[in-house]
A and B are shown apart, each in its own frame.
Chain A
């Protein structure tokens, strides 16, 4: 009692000279926690490695074909993706450029034509003006001559005046005509330019529409491809699942057969006179709960004692209750099987 109290005092003591137990306890717990953590972490990393089991071979074969398929599918995907992309990509960049090139040319041609027309017009005008001026000068000279002749007659003068006025009018008319013609020409040209522009716009719009259309089509194609891809993926998964199921079933069947074989092997008392090369195949039929319904010699070894010993071994081990653990389908397939007995196998 007193010792325990002493212990307690020491435990809670804050005496400088006596070492308490609080910190040691904390440290000790810490050490253990660290060790446990390390062991857990190590085991987790070890778990990642595939563990060898007795049916590794079967598993490996099935996964090989399965992954191969997936690989092929992936390859297909890649190859189908690679060529389909470039041809779709290249045309859109070239398409908008060709229409713009002729358009430009046309515009330039037009402008040249326009300039020529304007030049010829200007020439014509200049000629007309020169003619008019010359005429006027001759007329003036005449008039001056007439005046110098001291006005032969008022009428003549008036006539000349009139004529001059008429000519002036004609000239003005001619000028107005020329002006009008020029304006008309310009208006026509403007209209033509406008039309040209409209045409260009239309072309651009059409190009744009074509682009949009193409893009839409592309999108649709891509979606279709994706859908197909998903479908394929699903199929693959389904296949994988089916493969896994099949594998499991196969494993179960394998294990059942292994159990039966081992049990029979252990129970088999090989008759003394049997040689290693003797072989007997016994057909076994099982009931639903694993009991042996019938055994018969499928292929005899030629030695009846040997055959009998094999049948006895099977009957000795029966019933095979493990059959009940399998699924109904497997049970049906495993109801009847053959067992081959060879002494060399066992020894």
Chain B
């Protein structure tokens, strides 16, 4: 009886459907943005919803990156997963390992029949999210890379030419010495120490961070960032910390506030920090490429990205996936991408978006905003500079943070700290490998 009633109801709705407006397909998009970035994201979603009537994307903030990933995982376990989940770059290996939980982006695009050319995307960006066979697993959304922010007034104040060459760490070393002599309280600071000084540092100097092509080759990768070059760099930073030339502010981007307030002279941070610095800095600032050690073969290679990509979760029907494809197509369009790039300082994910931005004269009006793009795209990425694909990497970063703190406080020397970080990180990699088998 109930079946009959249900059938009748179904028949009735099917019959009535063409008469009323076609029901929109709902697409859930869970993200990890807050503040200004969330507003910009909501604006993109609103523009997409207004531009067509078949699909309705609903964006929901789910806390910070770690929390959003956990929300996605918990939802999947409960069978309530969204269609699109924003996952930060260090969660890539976790998502890739979850074969039954995700639907690769290339598959979604293929089945939708919408035009999709993986070659249109910046290789240095998509490389992070692409299989060894060149299949794109997730859509890069917000990607940034490390650059050097310079407080020009601080340099002038210390009697240093603000246009002095800061492209190498050797030159930075000399300038930090001069700043210190001039009595500057905070010559240099950094955010995201592991990302800047080990992950990207290794790529930029074309040395491996982990075996198996930084984990792209397989789950049995082992960390190797305790090589002589990395040790030498961390030892130098430790020396600067001891001499009061490098002021450590915290594990994430706490140092940003110090730079924006004018306390610190030099600052390494994500290129996406541009909007914040521009809004708050009461001094003349400039963006420079990330410094490298002169004399290292192959340096500067390219830096690696950070940020997040959009993953499509498994377990939804074809119509919904078509909507997801349409939304991703919209996000990748040159105009939307160019706007996003200019508003946020994130890299444009397609070559076309970069061209649109350049043609609009944005780079001339905002000098330094193209440095991140140039830094990423001048050289073809190598095995060491394509990115990282390591399990439990969020936690490995926490271990690296702990060990680096021991160097900054003088409790350990660089070699001992990095050896210990490698040993502890490898333990987590082995557990991840075991869980994934």
- Verify that A and B bind, or say they do not: no
